[in-house]
Amino acid sequence: MKVLVATEKPFAGEAVKGIRKELENAGYELSLLEAYTDKKELLSAVKEADALIVRSDIVDTGVLDAATRLKIVVRAGAGYDNIDLEACTARDIVAMNTPGQNSNAVAELAFGMMVYQARGGFNGKPGTELRGKSLGIHAYGNVGKYVAKIARGFGMEIFAFDPFVDDKIIEKDGIKALKTVEDLYSNCQYVSLHIPANNQTKASIGYKLLSMMPGNATLVNTARKEVINEQELMKVFAERDDFSYLSDIAPDCSDDIITKYPGRYFFTPKKMGAQTAEANINAGIAAASQIIAFLEEGDETFRLNS
Ligand code: 3PG
């Protein structure tokens, strides 16, 4: 069996070693396509693959049509908005993700960005602290839970809103569960986003919610840039001089923000949340072992498509 690891943003070397070991122990062959710049390279590499491991790499009908031997694709990570699940189903290809494996790394980045911003980008002038500030966790999944744990260490006042998670689970972690999304934004100086990007959530965070935030508001987005309504984000920037936006990957309107609102933003140059050796090792090896378990035993835990 041939397993292709196709990563436009490569895993740490140690993670690749771990994936190779896992696959070779099962008698499988690893083929690597790293840091590719042209989709044609992926289309050609995927031809021979029985299984595919990707990160945010786009797996669309073009890729799936080229992958005539493909039985399973695993997104080594949480968000699967890059995979056409319906197209996988139509071709009898199983799609999975590896939930939780890179969540701590993403949560740590959220705090890295918050501290950076609170200290004025380390510009030598007095900044502010996170202790005592209100933090709203928008969606209490794997990343949200790690964010809550770290926030407790910082001494923040922590709130969460997640319509898909029972309040009791949130309250058990000592976090105040809020009933509505409006409650979250109107109560929290910091809001950290952990919602997936799908048809319901895309462009769902905009003027209404952001203008409700209390003074010195900071929106932290380590989820997906697509969940923000950027036109409305610009309106909030224009109306409030106490609003900052921190995002793991620049929004499409970044040039405008950079020109007009210095000191009120931070954007990573590439999506960096899961870019730690630990997260790469966890997610990469989990992906390899899920492929083996599926191909050997038909194990469909973490299957995303029906
Ligand atoms: C995820 O959804 O798991 C994260 O956004 C990480 O994405 P990446 O693997 O492309 O860094």
What does the pLDDT look like over 259-296, one tens digit per residue?
Answer: 999 999 999 999 999 999 999 999 999 999 999 999 99
Enumerate domains of the chain plus CATH numbers.
Answer: 2-101+275-297 (3.40.50.720), 103-267 (3.40.50.720)
For residue 107 and ligand 1, the question of a CB distance below 6 A is answered with: no
Region of 62 on the Ramachandran plot (φ > 0 left; ψ -120 to 50 alpha; else beta): alpha
For residue 56 and ligand 1, the question of a CB distance below 6 A is answered with: yes
pLDDT of 276: 98
- Which residues have a Cβ under 8 Å from the Cβ of 190 and sit 6 or more positions away? 114, 130, 133, 134, 135, 136, 156, 217, 218, 220
pLDDT band with cut points at 50, 70 and 90 for residue 147: very high
What does the pLDDT look like over 156-167, one tens digit per residue?
Answer: 999 999 999 999
- What mean pLDDT, rounded, does the chain reach? 98
What does the pLDDT look like over 37-90, one tens digit per residue?
Answer: 999 999 999 999 999 999 999 999 999 999 999 999 999 999 999 999 999 999
pLDDT of 67: 98
Q: Which of 11, 55, 97, 195 to mutate to test the pocket of ligand 1 (most atoms within 8 A of CB)?
A: 55
What does the pLDDT look like over 8-20, one tens digit per residue?
Answer: 999 999 999 999 9
What does the pLDDT look like over 169-185, one tens digit per residue?
Answer: 999 999 999 999 999 99
pLDDT band with cut points at 50, 70 and 90 for residue 106: very high
pLDDT of 65: 98
For residue 55 and ligand 1, the question of a CB distance below 6 A is answered with: yes
Q: Which of 220, 271, 278 to mutate to test the pocket of ligand 1 (most atoms within 8 A of CB)?
A: 271
For residue 141 and ligand 1, the question of a CB distance below 6 A is answered with: no
pLDDT band with cut points at 50, 70 and 90 for residue 194: very high
pTM of structure:
0.97
pLDDT of 14: 98
